[in-house]
C-alpha cells in the first residue's frame, strides 16, 4: 500500500467507534458493580436489623429475669425496674452523646480556625483589617 494514502476519516471513525464501545463497556461494568454493591449492602442491613432485633429481645428477657431475681433483695417492683433499667438509660445517653458529633476528619479546633479565616473581610489592598500593621 505504498501508493495509497491512509484514509484519515475512516481511521477517526474507527477510533471514535472504539472509544464509544470502551465507554459503553465501562458504564455497563459500573452499573453491574453498583447493583452488586447495593445487593450486598441490602443483605448486610437486613442482617444488622435482624441482629438488633434479636439483641433487643434478649436484653428484654435478661432485664425481666433480673427484675425477678432482685425480688429477694428489693421488695418494691418499681424500685427493681428502676435498678435494672438505669444502666440501659445510662448506656443510651452515652451512645446518644457520642453519636451526635459531626462526622469530620479534622479536629474541631482546626475547623473553627478555618471558619474564622473565611469570615474575615479583606480590605481593598487584600489585607484583613486585623492583620494590618
48-104 pLDDT, tens digit per residue, is 999 999 999 999 999 999 999 999 999 999 999 999 999 999 988 998 888 866 656
Query: Total structural domains in the chain?
Result: 1
Residue 116 lies in a domain: no
Q: Can you give the pLDDT at residue 99?
A: 80
- Give whole-number Cα distances, 75 to 67, 70, 71, 79, 81, in Å: 11, 8, 6, 8, 11
- Mean pLDDT confidence for 16-23: 95
Domain extent for 17? 8-95
Residue 117 lies in a domain: no
| Pairwise CA distance, residues 64 & 88, whole Å | 13
Q: For residue 120, is pLDDT > 90?
A: no
Residue 105 lies in a domain: no
User: Residue 52 has what DSSP assignment?
Assistant: H
| Pairwise CA distance, residues 33 & 44, whole Å | 16
Q: What are the helix and strand counts (H, E) for the chain?
A: 3, 0
The predicted model scores a pTM of 0.49
Residue 76 lies in a domain: yes
b/e burial code for range 41-53 (CB count within 10 A of at least 16 → b): eeeeeeeeeeeee
Residue 113 lies in a domain: no
Residue 73 lies in a domain: yes
Residue 63 lies in a domain: yes
Residue 133 lies in a domain: no
Amino acid at each position: 500500500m505504498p501508493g495509497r494514502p491512509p484514509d484519515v476519516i475512516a481511521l477517526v471513525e474507527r477510533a471514535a467507534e472504539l472509544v464509544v464501545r470502551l465507554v459503553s463497556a465501562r458504564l455497563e461494568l459500573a452499573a453491574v458493580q453498583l447493583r452488586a454493591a447495593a445487593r450486598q449492602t441490602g443483605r448486610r442491613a437486613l442482617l444488622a436489623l435482624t441482629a438488633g432485633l434479636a439483641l433487643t429481645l434478649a436484653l428484654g428477657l435478661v432485664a425481666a429475669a433480673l427484675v425477678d431475681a432482685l425480688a429477694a433483695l428489693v421488695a418494691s417492683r418499681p424500685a427493681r425496674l428502676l435498678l435494672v433499667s438505669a444502666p440501659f438509660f445510662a448506656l443510651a445517653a452515652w451512645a446518644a452523646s457520642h453519636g451526635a458529633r459531626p462526622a469530620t476528619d479534622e479536629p474541631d479546633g482546626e475547623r473553627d480556625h478555618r471558619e474564622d479565616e473565611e469570615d474575615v473581610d479583606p480590605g481593598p489592598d487584600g489585607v484583613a483589617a486585623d492583620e494590618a500593621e
